[in-house]
């Protein structure tokens, strides 16, 4: 599915994480010809397997489909008992959500935060990953271990110190630099503390390690400097890894609830997830509107997922199992 969509990549794709998902790597040989009775047993197993799969898949889909169906209902419709499809189709839920309950603004806030964090992750993780993968400097291993170590620090531990830093320390620091009255308990703060993640950097470094050195050597001989080598040789070759970082970072920051809940205090700054939380506590039973807002929250990630499924999978693989 997503496999054909991949841009033509050089053989370097052989990095474990990003090829892990090639189709047809089934763990066991499906055919067991020549063993008596085996064929019938296999057929029964196949039928049972499909039945279970479709049932489970349906269970996984029902909540989403139900919310989609409700988002096109009228409020009266939601209390009239069960019906699969809306009795009267209406887009009033969506209209209300955007024009009455400010989800238009929340969508923009979410998009700004997610795009800013994604762009900065792409740049910082790739340049840092390149340095850690290719350039030799004293202390490289120790510093890299330090980066990986940050993966073990839970966000919760950082809540108090980061909040205090953003409220008390940083404004006075940047004040010395001439930026008076800066505040970070807003969108800027959420972006600032997510500029790069160790997971992105790790993913980039691992990928760079698998790129053959010949190309860089050629560039070097051509007189290209380190930055030019990074920019003109390494980045174009790292397409799959960049795509994985891009998609995973976007998804993570688009869905993020913890830091927005900590840092966004003004109503006008809320992101979609945070807006959903507040909407739910205030208007408990405006189901069509709530479901419409949920659809808006889920849709971009769904589209990304349908288009680039393998990168999501690659990210999970990279974050965990080695070999």
Partner 1 sequence: MPGEWVDDGRADVAVAVAKKRKVRGLGSERLREALVGYGFIALPMSFFLLFFIFPIGYAAYISRYDWGIFRGPFVGFDNYRQLYHDSVFWQHAVRNTLVYTVTVVPLQMAIGLSLAVVVNNAIRFRTFFRAAFYFPALASSAAIVAIATYILASDGLLNSFFGVLGYDHRYAWFSRTDTALPSIIGLNAWTTCGTMMLFYLASLQSISTEVYEAAAIDGAGAWRTFWKITFPLLKPGHFFVAVVSIIGALQMFDQSFIVGGTSGGPNYSTMTVVLYLYNRAFSAHFGYAAAVGLVLFVFIFTVTLIQRLLFGKAEVA
Q: Which of residues 54-73 bind partner 1 (CB under 8 A)?
A: 56-57, 60-64, 66-67, 70
Residues near partner 1 (CB under 8 A), total: 127
Residues 120 and 195: beta-carbon distance below 8 Å: yes
Binder among 5, 39, 47, 50 for partner 1 (CB under 8 A):
50
Cα torsion at 84, 90, 92, 98 (round to 10°)?
Answer: 80
- Binding of partner 1 by 283 (CB under 8 A): no
- Binding of partner 1 by 183 (CB under 8 A): no
- Binding of partner 1 by 303 (CB under 8 A): no
Footprint of partner 1 on 102-141 (CB under 8 A): 124-125, 127-128, 130-132, 135-138, 140
Residues 18 and 244: beta-carbon distance below 8 Å: yes
Measured from the CB atom, the residue of 98 and 305 that comes closer to partner 1 is 305
Measured from the CB atom, the residue of 91 and 150 that comes closer to partner 1 is 150
- Binding of partner 1 by 179 (CB under 8 A): no
Residues composing the chain: 323
DSSP 3-state of 191: helix
Phi, psi torsion values for 258, nearest 5 degrees: -60, -55
Residue of 200, 185, 53 whose CA lies nearest to 128: 200
- Binding of partner 1 by 178 (CB under 8 A): no
Least distance from C-beta 287 to partner 1, angstroms?
6
Binder among 47, 108, 143, 307 for partner 1 (CB under 8 A):
143
Least distance from C-beta 210 to partner 1, angstroms?
14
Residues 108 and 269: beta-carbon distance below 8 Å: no
Binder among 24, 85, 181, 213 for partner 1 (CB under 8 A):
24
| Rounded Cα gap, residues 239 and 305, in angstroms | 17
Binder among 150, 175, 209, 303 for partner 1 (CB under 8 A):
150
| Rounded Cα gap, residues 124 and 133, in angstroms | 14
- Binding of partner 1 by 209 (CB under 8 A): no
Binder among 208, 287, 308, 311 for partner 1 (CB under 8 A):
287
Residue of 72, 201, 197 whose CA lies nearest to 127: 201
Reported in sequence order, the residue ranges of the chain that DSSP labels E, i.e. its strands, are: none
Residues 20 and 206: beta-carbon distance below 8 Å: no
Question: Judged by CB under 8 A, which stretch of 90-98, 111-119, 164-172, 179-187 contacts partner 1?
Answer: 164-172
Residue of 23, 14, 16 whose CA lies nearest to 237: 14
Binding mask 216-255 for partner 1 (x = CB under 8 A): --xxxxxx--xx--x-xx--xx-------------x--xx
Tokens encoding 193: 């503390």
Measured from the CB atom, the residue of 207 and 254 that comes closer to partner 1 is 254
- Binding of partner 1 by 75 (CB under 8 A): no
């Amino acid at each position: 599915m997503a496999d054909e969509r991949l841009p033509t990549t050089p053989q370097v794709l052989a990095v474990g994480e990003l090829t892990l998902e090639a189709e047809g790597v089934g763990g066991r040989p499906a055919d067991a010809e020549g063993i008596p009775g085996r064929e019938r047993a296999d057929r029964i197993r196949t039928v049972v397997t499909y039945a279970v799969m479709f049932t489970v898949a349906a269970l996984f889909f029902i909540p989403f489909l139900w919310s989609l169906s409700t988002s096109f209902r009228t409020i009266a419709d939601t209390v009239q008992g069960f019906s699969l499809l809306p009795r009267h189709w209406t887009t009033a839920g969506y209209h209300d959500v955007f024009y009455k309950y400010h989800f238009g603004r929340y969508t923009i806030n979410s998009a700004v935060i997610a795009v800013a964090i994604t762009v900065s992750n792409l740049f910082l993780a790739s340049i840092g990953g390149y340095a850690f993968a290719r350039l030799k400097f004293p202390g490289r291993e120790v510093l890299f271990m330090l980066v990986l170590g940050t993966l073990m620090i839970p966000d919760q531990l950082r809540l108090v110190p980061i909040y205090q830093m953003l409220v008390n320390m940083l404004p006075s620091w940047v004040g010395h630099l001439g930026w008076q009255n800066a505040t970070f308990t807003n969108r800027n703060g959420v972006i600032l503390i997510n500029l790069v993640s160790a997971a992105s950097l790790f993913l980039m470094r691992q990928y760079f390690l698998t790129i053959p050195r010949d190309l860089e050597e050629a560039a070097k001989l051509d007189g290209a400097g380190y930055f030019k080598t990074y920019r003109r040789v390494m980045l174009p070759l790292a397409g799959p890894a960049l795509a994985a970082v891009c998609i995973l970072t976007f998804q993570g920051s688009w869905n993020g609830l913890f830091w927005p809940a900590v840092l966004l205090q003004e109503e006008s700054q809320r992101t979609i997830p945070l807006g959903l939380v507040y909407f739910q506590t205030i208007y408990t039973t405006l189901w069509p509107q709530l479901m419409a807002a949920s659809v808006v929250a889920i849709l971009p990630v769904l589209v990304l997922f349908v288009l680039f499924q393998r990168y999501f999978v690659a990210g999970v693989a990279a974050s965990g199992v080695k070999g």
